[in-house]
């Protein structure tokens, strides 16, 4: 736990130096992880954390720094959907439709990049009805033990869409079944250890790190996050304006 | 994708709102090669569609076009723009034989809309006709349909932005729309996206309103191919590197265009008091430092843009606390602030949010209100004329009432909705001398006394007064090209000398040398000029308001500055000369047109 804690502390320092006043206001507003988690009505993640020996490095977003530019979408798509050009395997052109990290924009202006949270209790895998493989113990949706990423075994997948439903109902909602095959897609691959979104985000809003599961907004849907950020950022006395 | 069309889909979506017919039309390879995309390709289509001069800009025939460029949709830095091209409902000529003569209009907006048009599989959208009742157009890849929008008619842009996405059911749809101003045919209504970005100038929202078109939504999954994939990735990497950590990038992020508020005031080039002055004593109350502390919440970037010039905001600690809207930019802060002597930052924010919500071009609206304020001060009009509004300088409540009246075209607002040129005719009393427009299109937030080059930019622009036109012909040609590529003008510098040319070459497979690039810009600019000429615009239409030659600045560092008519005329003569235009008529010479591949514009 300690390592993740240290990272968490550094993270918050960043936020404070970015905007000390706003940060203090956020705390004073009483919006905390506990409250947000309470909204979900699902398993409290920190209890899972306590039982687990491992945590994974994954993509973390600093929502205050994100500008909604969607460069992350393009570079994710380019890396993960390579193209053969004159016999050479090259990055794709960056069609954002294919991205594993997806920026959701709201009004008033809030942008929430949504990416697989690599949930330790993996509700997506839990929901997969395919029997575990006798040798590997893997269902059709499974976790790659080394990286912790969520993978789909196309051959055994029965295209029922249960994983996507579970992820949407309980967590970030990042699985999009392929429109033709209905098999799950858009789970973060971590780009062979060199996350492209982190590398190319022009605003340094993304990090590749071990995340404290009590970190605010961890595993939340973009809608929930946007709702909370809208309240914090834009409801200043809140009498006039677009806040309902 | 048609063969030989690298960088393009080769398809324009053609929507006729009268019949409801939607067609996919091929784009000739020759046209993309010569006119590139965006503003240029839109101009070519406008020329082809409007075969006879003098048609009413608000008639169903006038095409309203949404034109991304060949770099749109690729993750090139700041490749986010959509150029809206149409015939202008704003401009008029001094002595044209056509009563409905007007210039071209093009207006460029950022955001995500243009890239999405390309993801849906099109290089542009051409909308003609008029729906019998309010509609919106929905484009979902190959599917396109016209849908009823009656329940949305009358809705402000901010509420509509949220309600519309709810109706569409997916945030991946990119939308743009008009507000009540466009519906009511206010001549300077604009088109809005993301509740605050606008194709502001040139009355594009008025044309959209005339078609009974409330909104367009688009979503797509595709991308065009490129000519040289590997080279493209290399140039893309270079371009990204070029923006990284530079002072140029840092400056944009730090202050957006609002940085220019204090800077421009400090050199006497700001529009203040209806352009009577160039410096605003209270600028620090509404400048970027004040805005940063009291209104800015976060930086907001357009598609793949590393500059994030837009500042999402909410008013803290001043009047109108709690109002959530973008902070002031240079244009909005000047035209609704300095130009009206408004120094109350909260009040300014309220004006801006109201202007955006109605879907008004804030530049023209601020110019019109400044003109009325000056006439009121001078006694040329009284309070009765203004429907009882005490329209004094700096009076935020009065400004808000005028904005409301203009958007609803109520009482004095009906007259004011037509712009300062027609207002001056109505008011008389020599008010035309300080009616700040060129060809009927209002001047933007840059004053001219200390900056004659801006005067050239205003008079020689093909859409009527335009501050982004460029002070020299080289700048103008280059800007016409930028507007045609899909990349943002503000980012131009960051690409370095050959960055954009190289990217265009890799994408299109056409060798875009520096010379060819400049020449294409010149070609586009000349085609616009020929369109205007055909409508009956002549040299005498390229004229600045009298004020700049008659009334020297009285305050600030520019004190005493005034333009000399003789010198300005000489500057303009030299400009036409260099352009290869007849200085008497401003008509491009035959040789020039032939050289540019515009022979088709020469009447036989
Ligand atoms: S690239 Fe960075 S700033 Fe841009 S949307 Fe993604 S996370 Fe946000
Ligand atoms: S975010 Fe969704 S896909 Fe990723 S681990 Fe959690 S439930 Fe599974
Ligand atoms: S780490 Fe790689 S796969 Fe995961 S979201 Fe980032 S770019 Fe996409």
Domains of chain B: 11-219 (3.60.9.10), 258-442 (1.10.569.10), 452-601 (1.10.599.10)
Question: How big is the CA angle at B344 (ends B342 and B346), to the nearest 5 degrees?
Answer: 125
Contact A60 CB / ligand 3 (< 6 Å): no
| Residues sharing a CB contact under 8 Å with residue B388, sequence separation 6 or more, in sequence order | none
Q: How far apart are CA B275 and CA B285, in angstroms?
A: 19
Indicate if the pLDDT at residue A25 is higher than 60: no
- Widest pairwise Cα distance in chain A: 62
Higher pLDDT, A55 or B572: B572
Does residue A220 lie within any of the structural domains? yes
Rg (CA), chain A: 19
- C-beta separation of B135 from B151 below 8 A: no
- Split into its structural domains, chain A has a count of 1
Does residue A3 lie within any of the structural domains? no
Task: For residue A52, name the pLDDT band (cuts at 50, 70, 90).
Answer: low
Contact A190 CB / ligand 3 (< 6 Å): yes
Contact A101 CB / ligand 3 (< 6 Å): yes
pLDDT at A41: 29
Higher pLDDT, A66 or A16: A66
Indicate if the pLDDT at residue A36 is higher than 80: no
Q: How far apart are CA B73 and CA A97, in angstroms?
A: 11
Q: How far apart are CA B402 and CA B387, in angstroms?
A: 10
The alpha-carbon gap from A224 to the nearest alpha carbon of chain B, in Å, equals 15
pLDDT at B5: 80
Q: Is B243 on the interface with A (CB under 8 A)?
A: yes
Does residue A151 lie within any of the structural domains? yes
Ligand nearest to the CA of A64: 1
Task: For residue A202, name the pLDDT band (cuts at 50, 70, 90).
Answer: very high
Partners of residue B225 in chain A, C-beta under 8 Å: 93
Task: Answer yes or no: do A95 and B119 touch at CB < 8 A.
Answer: yes
- Looking at residue A114, which CATH number applies to its domain? 3.30.70.20
Of B162, B297, B322, the CB nearest to A239: B322
Q: How far apart are CA A194 and CA A9, in angstroms?
A: 24
- Supply the DSSP symbol for A222: H
Q: Measure A206 CA to ligand 1 centroid, in angstroms.
A: 7
Higher pLDDT, A6 or B398: B398
Contact A80 CB / ligand 3 (< 6 Å): yes
- C-beta separation of B104 from B88 below 8 A: yes
pLDDT at A9: 32
Does residue A83 lie within any of the structural domains? yes
pLDDT digits (tens, 9 = 90+) for A108-147: 999 999 999 999 999 999 999 999 999 999 999 999 999 9
Burial tier of B254 (Cβ tally within 10 Å: 0-12, 13-18, 19+) = middle
- Average pLDDT value for residue range A188-194: 97
**To test the ligand 1 pocket, which listed residue (A72, A73, A195) has its Cβ within 8 A of the most ligand atoms?**
A72
Does residue A77 lie within any of the structural domains? yes
Per-residue buried b or exposed e for B540-572, using 16+ beta carbons within 10 Å of the residue's own CB? ebbebbebbbeeebeebebeebbbeeeebeebb
Q: How far apart are CA B518 and CA B478, in angstroms?
A: 6
Instruction: Identify the bridge partners of residue B310 per DSSP, sorted by sequence position.
Output: B300
Instruction: Identify the bridge partners of residue B126 per DSSP, sorted by sequence position.
Output: B14, B65
Q: Is A106 on the interface with B (CB under 8 A)?
A: yes
Does residue A25 lie within any of the structural domains? no
- The ligand 1 atom at the shortest distance from the C-alpha of residue A206 is 7
- Dihedral sign, Cα of residue A191, residue A193, residue A197, residue A200: negative
Q: What is the DSSP string of B200-256?
A: -STTHHHHHHHTTEEEEEEE-------S-HHHHHHHHHHHHHHHTT-HHHHHHHHHG
Q: Which of B591, B574, B552, B506 is nearest to B231 (CA)?
A: B506
Tokens, residue B73: 């949709």
Q: Look at residue B179 and give its three-state secondary structure.
A: coil
Distances (CA, A) of B532 to A167, B122, B540, B593: 58, 28, 13, 15
Q: How far apart are CA B422 and CA B416, in angstroms?
A: 8
Does residue A43 lie within any of the structural domains? no
Taking 70 as the pLDDT cut, the residues of chain B under it are: 1-4, 604
Ligand nearest to the CA of A78: 3
- Supply the DSSP symbol for A10: H
Burial tier of B600 (Cβ tally within 10 Å: 0-12, 13-18, 19+) = exposed
| Residues sharing a CB contact under 8 Å with residue B575, sequence separation 6 or more, in sequence order | B456, B460, B473
Q: How far apart are CA B521 and CA B516, in angstroms?
A: 9
- C-beta separation of B299 from A203 below 8 A: yes
Range of the domain at A112: 67-233
The whole model's pTM is what? 0.92
Rounded to 5 degrees, φ, ψ at B230 are -65, -45
Q: How far is residue B124 CA from its own chain's centroid?
A: 18
Q: Which of B2, A167, B299 is nearest to B12 (CA)?
A: B2
Show which of residues 110-139 on chain B sit within 8 Å of chain A, judged by CB atoms. Answer: 112, 119
Show which of residues 199-218 on chain A sit within 8 Å of chain B, judged by CB atoms. Answer: 200, 202-203
**% chain A with pLDDT above 90:** 69
Residue located nearest, by CA, to atom 8 of ligand 1: A66
pLDDT digits (tens, 9 = 90+) for A144-158: 999 999 999 999 999
Of A69, A85, A237, the CB nearest to B301: A69
pLDDT at B603: 78
Does residue A123 lie within any of the structural domains? yes
pLDDT at A216: 87
A43 CB neighbour count, 10 Å cutoff = 14
Instruction: Report strand pairing: B124-128 vs B11-16.
Output: parallel
Instruction: Report strand pairing: B174-177 vs B310-313.
Output: unpaired
Q: Is B3 on the interface with A (CB under 8 A)?
A: no
Higher pLDDT, A52 or B30: B30
pLDDT at A130: 97
Residue located nearest, by CA, to atom 6 of ligand 3: A197
Stated as kind and residue range, the H or E segment containing A46 is helix A45-51
Indicate if the pLDDT at residue A3 is higher than 70: no
For ligand 1, residues with CB inside 6 Å are: A 61, 66-72, 103, 111, 113, 201, 203, 205-206
Half-sphere exposure of B280 (CA within 13 A, CB side): 35
pLDDT at B155: 98
Question: H helices within B461-582, ranges in order?
Answer: 473-485, 499-508, 514-535, 547-550, 565-579
Tokens, residue B49: 């569609």
Of B171, B225, B230, the CB nearest to A105: B171
Q: Is A84 on the interface with B (CB under 8 A)?
A: no
């Amino acid at each position: 736990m300690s390592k993740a804690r240290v990272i968490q502390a550094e993270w918050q320092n960043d936020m404070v130096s970015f905007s000390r006043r706003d940060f203090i206001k956020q705390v004073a507003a009483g919006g905390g992880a506990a409250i947000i988690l309470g909204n979900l009505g699902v398993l409290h993640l920190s209890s899972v954390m306590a039982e687990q020996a491992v945590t994974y490095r994954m993509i973390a977003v600093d929502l205050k720094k994100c500008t909604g530019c969607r460069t992350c979408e393009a570079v994710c798509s380019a890396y993960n959907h390579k193209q053969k050009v004159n016999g050479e395997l090259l990055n794709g052109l960056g069609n954002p439709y294919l991205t594993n990290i997806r920026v959701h924009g709201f009004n008033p202006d809030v942008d929430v990049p949504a990416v697989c949270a690599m949930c330790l209790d993996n509700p997506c895998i839990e929901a997969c009805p395919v029997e575990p493989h006798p040798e590997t113990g893997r269902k059709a949706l499974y976790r790659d033990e080394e990286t912790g990423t969520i993978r789909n075994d196309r051959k055994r997948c029965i295209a029922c869409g249960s994983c996507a439903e579970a992820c949407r109902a309980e967590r970030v909602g990042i699985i999009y079944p392929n429109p033709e095959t209905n098999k799950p897609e858009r789970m973060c691959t971590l780009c062979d250890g060199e996350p492209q979104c982190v590398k190319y985000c022009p605003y340094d809003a993304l990090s590749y790190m071990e995340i404290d599961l009590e970190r605010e907004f961890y595993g939340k849907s973009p809608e929930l996050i946007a709702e909370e950020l809208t309240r914090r950022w834009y409801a200043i006395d809140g009498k006039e304006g677009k806040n309902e | 994708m048609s063969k030989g069309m690298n960088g393009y889909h080769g398809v324009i979506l053609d929507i006729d709102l009268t019949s409801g017919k939607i067609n996919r039309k091929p784009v000739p390879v020759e046209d993309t090669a010569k006119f590139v995309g965006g503003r240029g390709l839109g101009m070519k289509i406008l020329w082809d569609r409007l075969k006879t001069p003098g048609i009413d800009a608000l008639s169903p025939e006038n095409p309203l076009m949404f034109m991304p460029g060949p770099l749109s949709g690729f993750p090139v830095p700041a490749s986010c723009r959509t150029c809206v091209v149409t015939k202008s409902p704003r401009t008029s000529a001094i002595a044209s034989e056509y009563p409905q003569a007007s210039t071209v209009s093009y207006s460029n907006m950022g955001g995500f809309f243009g890239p999405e048009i390309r993801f849906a599989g099109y290089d542009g959208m051409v909308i003609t006709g008029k729906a019998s009742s309010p509609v919106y157009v929905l484009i979902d890849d190959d599917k396109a349909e016209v849908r009823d929008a009656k329940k949305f008619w009358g809705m402000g842009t901010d509420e509509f932005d949220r309600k519309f996405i709810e109706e569409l059911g997916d945030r991946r749809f990119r939308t743009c729309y008009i507000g009540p101003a466009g519906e009511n045919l206010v001549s300077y209504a604009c088109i809005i996206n993301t509740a605050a970005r606008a194709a502001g100038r040139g009355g594009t929202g008025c044309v959209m309103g005339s078609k009974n078109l409330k909104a367009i939504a688009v979503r797509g999954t595709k991308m065009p191919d490129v000519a040289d994939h590997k080279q493209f990735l290399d140039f893309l990497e270079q371009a990204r590197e070029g923006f990284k950590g530079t002072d140029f990038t840092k400056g944009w992020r730090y202050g957006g265009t609002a940085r220019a508020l204090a800077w421009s005031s400090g050199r006497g080039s700001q529009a203040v008091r209806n352009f009577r002055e160039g410096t605003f004593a209270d600028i620090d109350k509404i400048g970027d430092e004040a805005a940063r502390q009291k209104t800015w919440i976060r930086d907001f970037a357009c598609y793949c843009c590393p500059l994030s010039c837009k500042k999402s905001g909410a008013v803290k600690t001043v009047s109108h606390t709690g109002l959530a809207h973008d902070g002031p930019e240079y244009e909005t802060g000047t035209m609704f602030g300095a130009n009206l002597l408004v120094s109350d930052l909260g009040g300014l924010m309220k004006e801006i949010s109201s202007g955006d919500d109605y879907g008004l071009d804030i530049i023209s609206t601020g110019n019109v209100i400044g003109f009325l304020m000056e006439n009121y001060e001078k006694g040329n009009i009284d309070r009765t004329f203004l429907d009882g509004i005490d329209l004094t300088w700096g009076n935020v409540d009065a400004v808000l009432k005028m904005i409301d009246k203009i958007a609803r075209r109520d009482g004095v607002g009906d007259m004011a909705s037509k712009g300062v040129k027609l207002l001056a005719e109505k008011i008389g009393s020599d008010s035309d001398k300080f009616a700040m427009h060129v060809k009927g299109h209002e001047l933007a937030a840059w004053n001219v006394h200390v900056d004659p080059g801006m005067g050239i930019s205003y008079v020689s622009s093909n859409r009527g007064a335009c501050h982004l036109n460029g002070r020299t012909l080289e700048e103008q040609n280059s800007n016409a090209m930028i507007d045609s590529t899909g990349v943002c003008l503000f980012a131009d510098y960051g690409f370095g000398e050959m960055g954009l040319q190289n990217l265009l070459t890799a994408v299109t497979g056409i060798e875009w040398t520096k010379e060819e690039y400049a020449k294409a810009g010149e070609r586009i600019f000349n085609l616009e000029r020929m369109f205007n000429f055909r409508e009956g615009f002549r040299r005498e239409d390229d004229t600045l308001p009298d004020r700049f030659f008659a009334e020297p600045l009285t305050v600030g560092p520019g004190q005493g500055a005034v333009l000399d008519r003789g010198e300005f005329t000489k500057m303009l003569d030299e400009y036409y000369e260099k352009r290869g235009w007849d200085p008497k008529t401003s008509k491009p010479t035959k040789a020039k047109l032939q050289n540019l591949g515009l022979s088709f514009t020469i009447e036989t």
